[in-house]
Structures are given as C-alpha cells and as structure tokens.
Structure 1
Amino acid sequence: MTTSADFSHFFRHERSLAPLFDAVQRQTLRYFWDFGHPVSGLTRERITIGQPPGDRVAIGASGMGVMALIVGIERGWISHDDALQRLLTMVRFLEIAPSYHGIFPHWMNGRTGATIPFSRKDDGGDLVETAFLLQGLLCARQYFQGEDTAERELRGLIDRIWLDAEWDWHTRGGVKMLYWHWSPNHDWSMDYEIRGWNECFVVYVLAASSPTHGIDPKVYHGGWAQGRDFRNGRTYYDIELPLGPDYGGALSFAHYSFLGLDPRGLKDRYADYWQQNVRHVLINREHCIRNPHQYEGYGPDCWGLTADDTADGYRSLHPANDLGFIAPNAALASFPYAPAAVTRVLRHFCGPLRDRIWGECGFTSAFGETRDWYSRDYIGVDEGPIVVMIENYRSGLLWKLFMSCPEVRSGLARLGFESPHLVSSGNP
C-alpha cells in the first residue's frame, strides 16, 4: 500500500473525484491494514506519530476496521485471501477473549485479550462498542459468501459472536430501555441509559434484530425514543431539525450508526432518517460558516464539529460547544449527505492544510488554527468512517451488505420502520 500521496495533480483534473477518493480512502485504510494489532488483528484505539503503537485495541473501531477492509478488497488494494485471513485472526481472537454476557469491553489488550478498563467502573461489557463491532462483522458475513472452508469458518464464528450477545440482559431485567454498561465488579452502578438521539441508534436496531436475545419493541419506543433529547422540531440557522439536542450535537450521530444502516428512505413514526442526517450536517456546516466565535480558518471550506481531540484533551464538539477545533472526519464522513459542500472541504484539506493534517494513515484527528494546534494522533473511530462513508457515497457497498442481513431487516420491520430494503426483501 502507498505510504504517501501528492494531491497537486487532482486540482488540475476536476472532472472526476475518483482519483482523490482513491488516494484518501487507500491511505486511511493503512490505519487498519498496516497498523492492525500483530497478534489479534484488531484495531488500535489510537496511534501517535513518532511513538510505537501499543497493545490497546478498541472494539468499536475494530468493527469499523472490518468494514474498511471490505472496501480495500473491492477497490483492489488488498487481496481477498489476505483480508480473509486477517478477519479470521480477528474473530478467532474475539471468540476466546473475555466478554460479559456476550458483550465486549470498550478496550482490550490486543495481545492477551484482557479487558482494559475505560474508566474505574467501566471494566465490563460496553453495549455500544459491541454494536459497532457487530455492525462490521455482519457486513463481513454477508460479503464472504464462498463455500470454501475459510469463508464458512468466518461466517460460523461471526454467527457465534452475534448470537451470544445478550442484548436483553442490558434491559436490567425488563426495564423499557437499554443500559450502556455492565460490570462483573460494579454491576449496573454506571447507570448510563441509552436514550435520546445520539450515535447509539444502531444499538437498538441490532438489539431488536437478535434471533437469540432480542428486545421487545417497547424497549425502543419506551426508552430510546422517549429521551429528553430525542424529538426536536426546532429551527437552527433556518434549518428545521427533526431529532436530537439543540443544533444537532456531534456529527458522529450521523455517521457511526449509519456506516451500515442505510438512511436512504429509512423512516419510522419519529423521523425520516435521511432528512435527519442531511439537516444535522447542514446545521453543523452553517454554524461554522457563520462562525459566531470568530475562530480562525472556519468557513465553507473548513467545517466539521464532532467528538474528538482538542489542545485540551478529548471533547464532545458541536455548535452548542464549539471550542475552535475542526475534526477532518466530521465533514469527510458526511459525503453522502452533502457531497458538493464536503468536496470543497476535501480540496481544502488536501491543499493548504495538507502538510499539517495529512500523514501515513490519512488525516489526523483534529486541528485548531486559532490555537495553532494540529493533532499528532490518528484515532480508529475517526479513520473508519472516512473510508466507509466515502465508499457508501461512491457505491453504497456497506449499506447494501448490512441491509442484506435477514435479521436486520426483520428487526427493522419489528420496530415499525419503512425502507426500500424491506420492500425489496419481501417484508411488509
């Protein structure tokens, strides 16, 4: 795989963005392919430029990495057989690694499988990170449909991990909502409800889709959809927002759950999810254009606020908490929702800012021109959405794979969703 890219020639040939997409996706893919953990194959939580990578791997980012590898195969950057062997390494490791009622921790040691606590009491199962993992694994199961021994083994291992996940356990005995964490040492003491509108939408979809430990639809309607920040309907910068907190929240809300879930035509009694995501992105963009805090660099060529690094640590960034730091993944993973607007950003990132934010694994996590601060880190949950959402814009590949899962289609139908994928599959 390439280790660097010179973008100058792309600006002399504007008729096609394909070479630019190829360069960005292929370079970003290196984070997962070249820097995956050498023992487990799983995705490291972050890599700091100039420092040797450690053993800490991230479960959610590993699911995104699985999806990125599929893109690599389709684009001819990784061989089918090499990627298959990497995926087998990953799922064989996951099968024997500790889990908690079938739910994996946020972080684990990629060499030993031991849980690495995310915080003092967060030392057990993380339902959200596990959902992001399974979103990727189910795409791999649908992609590798061959009848040779290796592909059958891969599908079988993914099914085992998928069917072992006890989503219903996270209702705490039947409460009408899902809870994020459970610990064998601290039980439910973190008491973090998964509700309102945020990045966790796919958790409820998968929980309703599970053939073995599925939740009742009442958990979705009575928990997730009843959170304080679920329904909105207010207008920001002359754009009406159907769901979510004021100004929409972090842009990861429009990305993480929709790496596999296809928002095109996806509707339920609460929202049209394509419309929701498009409007969320446009509000985020408009905020940066109007730039009420007068941060340097903001404008139509440079926008994108999400949870990410800042000069003062990791923060949840959004228009209601704008600290002056732009995350490249925030705009770039929004390509399906606002392609013309994001194209301007991509050209800017690959032009004037390239020497400060581009490296061997693509774009670094964030930057703040007002503070003259440029991250030296790559983060797995930043890099994955760049590769996957650009691909969904180009071909719809991951959307097609995930929505081809019969369990997912069944789960969406149980929850009362409409989708072209449900009609085409024969579901009502």
Structure 2
Amino acid sequence: MKADRPWVDVTPDDEAMLDRLQRHAFGYFLQHGNPVNGLVADTSRPNSPSSIATVGFALSAYPVGVERGWIPRAEAVQRCLVALRFFWHSDQGGTPESTGWHGFYYHFLDMDSGLRVWACEVSLIDSALLLAGMLAAAAYFTDSTPAETELRELAHALYGRVDWHWAQHHGAAVVHGWKPEGGFLHYGWEGYSEAILLYVLGLGSPTRPLNTASFEAWSATYQWENLYGYDFLYAGPLFIHQFSHAWIDFRGIRDRFMREKRCDYFENSRRATYVQREYAIRNPRSFVGYNAQCWGLTAGDGPSVAPQNVAGRRQAFYGYAARGVPYGPDDGTISVPGIVSSLVFAPEIVLPTLRTLLARSGAAATRAVQASGFNATARSPDTPAESGPWISEGEFGLDQGMVVLMVENFRSGLLWRLLRACPFMQTGLRRAGFRGGWLDTAAQP
C-alpha cells in the first residue's frame, strides 16, 4: 500500500533508489545487534556501546523488514522478544553499575552486560525513543501466538513501568536526565525540539503520567520565526523536525500553539526543510559544495581537524555536533541521512537531491551517502584536494534507523498507521491538546 503522496511523481528508478537506501539501512540492525540481549550498537565502529535510542529504532525497523521481505516474521519477533526480555529483567536500581531507574534507562549500555557505560545519564528522550520502538513492535505483531502475545505484554508492561511524574523534578517542566552521582541534571526542555514524542508518551501513560501542565509549560518556550520568507517554529538541526515524526502522523492535527499559527507540525517540518535548502543555496559562510542539490545540517559526526582558512576567516571544525541553520554551528558538514529523513515532508526537493548525490560514482560517493556526515571543505594536512571530501568513519544507528522509518512512512505510511491505532499515543496527543484530522475520527481508547 502506497502512502498518500499526490504532490510528487515518483519514478520506478526513484523507487529502486529508495529501496536500496532503505534496505542497506535496515541491514545495520542485523549486522550490529547482539542476539543474546537484543542491544544494538550506537555506531559500527569497533567497541561501540549500545544506544538505547538505537534499540528503539531497531524495534521499529523489524516490522518494516517483515513487510519488505527482508527478514522472516519469526526471526523479527524473536529479535524483539530478546530485547524486551532484557529490559524487563534489567537492573533498575539506579546505581552507577545498573541499567536504569524509575523505568527509564541509561543512554549508553555495554553491548554484552547491558550495564551503564561512560558515566552517562538516565536519558528521558532516549528512553522515549526506545519506548516508541517497543510500542511500534507491539502494534505490528498482533498474532495470537505465544511469542507475539508475550511481545505485546512485555512492551505494555515496560511502558507502564515508567514513572513519568518523577521526571517533573521542579513542577511542570520535564528534566533532561539524571545521574546517580549528582541527581537531576540542571537543565530541562526549553524551545521546540524532538521532545514532543517524549511529552506525548509521558502524557499517554496509564500508570504514572506527566501532568497536563507539562506540555503547555514546554510549548510556552517555543520560538516562531520568519526565515527566508518562511514562517515556522524554529529549530536549527534537521533531526529536531524529524525524530518524533517517525512514529507520530502530525498531518492535520494541531495543538493550541499550532491552531493559533494555522499550521501543524508536519507542515512546519516541510518549511524547515526548505529553509535548510535555501541556506545552502545562499551559502553565507562559503563552504565547498553547498547548493540546491547539496544541503542538510543536523546532529552527526564531522571532522576533527585543525582550524583552516575559509573565505578569509579562521574556521573551526567540531567533530560530533548538532549543526543547524541559519545560526549554526556550521562547519561545512552535510548529512545525507538527514536529507533522506526529510523525504516525507518535501519529496519534490529531496528526490532530486538524492539523485544528484547518488549519481556520483566511486566507493567514496557511496560511503558519503551512507555515513553520518561528509565535508568537502575540511582538509587534513596530508590530504590532497583531489582525494575527495572528508567522510565520517562507519555508520550511526540513529541515522540508519531514521532512513528505514522515514522512507517507509513515505512509501507506505506503515509506522504512522501502527501508532495512530495505539491507544497510548492517542491519549497522549489528546492530553497535550491536539485535535483535528485523523485524531478526531479515531476510536477513543
């Protein structure tokens, strides 16, 4: 079944291109997952720990793999079950050597033991991405077999175990995270961000939900701007305009803020995509390669080389960073997975961009498309200009997960259909003040 996409002509060559990109991305989870506990590596680099958010993307990707014929249903169910059993039985003691606390989980876990690494925080947003994956798997695997029944029961139990109210440490606002060494982190969610998924899941909980004041307190910090002729809810990096949309179909549904602006979050992301391209066309900082067919700044890997002279100034390079437009940071690094993940919003500009980027021949061009980022401006001292752009080493699980989910939402709308029927998502959206569109016609849970 094809998704509703009347505004763009998708050729058979486009379909084949998207299939190749999506299938390669799906392979990441098969190649870099631990079959014993279901954890998935944050990156393909050696000795990478697991990111709980990447596990959430994997759980959401397995249904896509079944639909596309890339993995047998029984194998997909087993992969989901192994992960859900691990999290259900994991140490929730909140110690420096445990896995989580209050139903949330540490951001990074050891691939084998499943215990905290890097002295990282209990992460609210990464736990939300993990839980979204659990609910997506539960919504897809609905057969009455013992395995699929257990899968659904575990997913719902894990979601119900989360104490969302605990995360409202100072009242309405939700904190970013918590560490056993120092308690709650000293900052919360302010300004529009990917946390919209977190709030919807927290408000939809049947056990210990966020209070309804939480979403209003957060949205009160929004920043509405006009950039390059586009009125939109500002956030610089592309991923902010994408992540929550992997699971929630925001087309035609509006909260109080969007009703006042006569907009919705889907249309907002479409405008943000055009802002990104316009920034690259104008290229105010004169980076190499930026144009109408090469754009896309988001969170991801970048070069860590010495500062260099660019257009008469000393330009620093930031390594891993959340790049954004038009205010930066920007060091010339482009993310092709970030472009692909904008496909549902603006296929009329994304498809031509992908055609151009993929038309380049050679192994380096293929790597640049699949990697977290590439940079044609940065040069190492011993790297000649003719050798091509800097390209990030390996692949990142979050990038590959977004490619799988957002391409699928464009091609069939699978994840959107699954989560539109999820009673917890419906409840969370309604408690956040959303109404209209499909939400008004959905059966009340």
Give yes or no for contact 1:291–1:298 (8 Å, CA) kept in 2: yes
Residue from 315, 319, 324 that aligns with 1:318: 324
Instruction: Please tell me the residue identity of whatever aligns with 1:240.
Output: D
In the TM superposition, 1:18-417 aligns within 5 A as 18-48=15-45, 53-54=46-47, 56-97=49-90, 98-117=99-118, 120=119, 122-123=120-121, 125-172=122-169, 175-188=171-184, 190-222=185-217, 224-227=218-221, 230-232=222-224, 234-241=225-232, 243-244=233-234, 248-271=235-258, 272-312=264-304, 313-319=319-325, 320-321=327-328, 322-352=330-360, 355-359=363-367, 363-371=370-378, 372-417=389-434
Instruction: Please tell me the residue identity of whatever aligns with 1:270.
Output: F
Q: Deviating runs (4+, > 4 A) in structure 1?
A: 13-16
Separation of aligned partners in 2, 1:273 and 1:374? 32
- The number of aligned residues is 397
Structure 1, gaps ≥5 residues long = 1-12
Separation of aligned partners in 2, 1:146 and 1:426? 21
Shift, 1:112, TM fit: 0.7
Deviations 1:197-223 (A, max 9, x none): 01211011111000001111111102x
Instruction: Please tell me the residue identity of whatever aligns with 1:378.
Output: E
Is the partner of 1:154 in helix, strand or coil?
helix
Instruction: Please tell me the residue identity of whatever aligns with 1:200.
Output: A
Separation of aligned partners in 1, 2:39 and 2:19? 24
Give yes or no for contact 2:242–2:341 (8 Å, CA) kept in 1: yes
Shift, 1:405, TM fit: 0.6
Shift, 1:55, TM fit: 5.5
Give yes or no for contact 1:40–1:89 (8 Å, CA) kept in 2: yes
Separation of aligned partners in 1, 2:440 and 2:11? 38
Deviations 1:144-163 (A, max 9, x none): 10111000111111111101
Give yes or no for contact 1:357–1:374 (8 Å, CA) kept in 2: no
Separation of aligned partners in 1, 2:13 and 2:113? 46
Separation of aligned partners in 2, 1:42 and 1:343? 33
* Cα distance, 1:363–1:155 mapped onto 2, change above 3 Å: same
Separation of aligned partners in 1, 2:158 and 2:181? 23
Select between 329-338 and 14-23 the one with higher mean Cα deviation: 14-23
Separation of aligned partners in 2, 1:214 and 1:358? 45
- Identity, in percent, stands at 32
* Cα distance, 1:36–1:357 mapped onto 2, change above 3 Å: farther
* Cα distance, 1:147–1:15 mapped onto 2, change above 3 Å: closer
Shift, 1:415, TM fit: 1.6
Deviations 1:164-202 (A, max 9, x none): 111110001x611100112233111x2120121012110
Give yes or no for contact 1:37–1:55 (8 Å, CA) kept in 2: no
* Cα distance, 1:15–1:160 mapped onto 2, change above 3 Å: closer
Separation of aligned partners in 2, 1:427 and 1:38? 38
Separation of aligned partners in 2, 1:354 and 1:157? 46
Separation of aligned partners in 2, 1:100 and 1:357? 43
* Cα distance, 1:114–1:239 mapped onto 2, change above 3 Å: same
Shift, 1:362, TM fit: 6.9
Instruction: Please tell me the residue identity of whatever aligns with 2:127.
Output: T
Shift, 1:354, TM fit: 5.6
Separation of aligned partners in 2, 1:197 and 1:405? 24
Deviations 1:27-63 (A, max 9, x none): 1111111221243222211113xxxx42610001111
Structure 2, gaps ≥5 residues long = 1-9, 91-98, 259-263, 305-318, 379-388
Separation of aligned partners in 2, 1:363 and 1:354? 13
Instruction: Please tell me the residue identity of whatever aligns with 1:348.
Output: T
Give yes or no for contact 1:300–1:344 (8 Å, CA) kept in 2: no
Give yes or no for contact 1:28–1:362 (8 Å, CA) kept in 2: no
Separation of aligned partners in 1, 2:73 and 2:101? 32
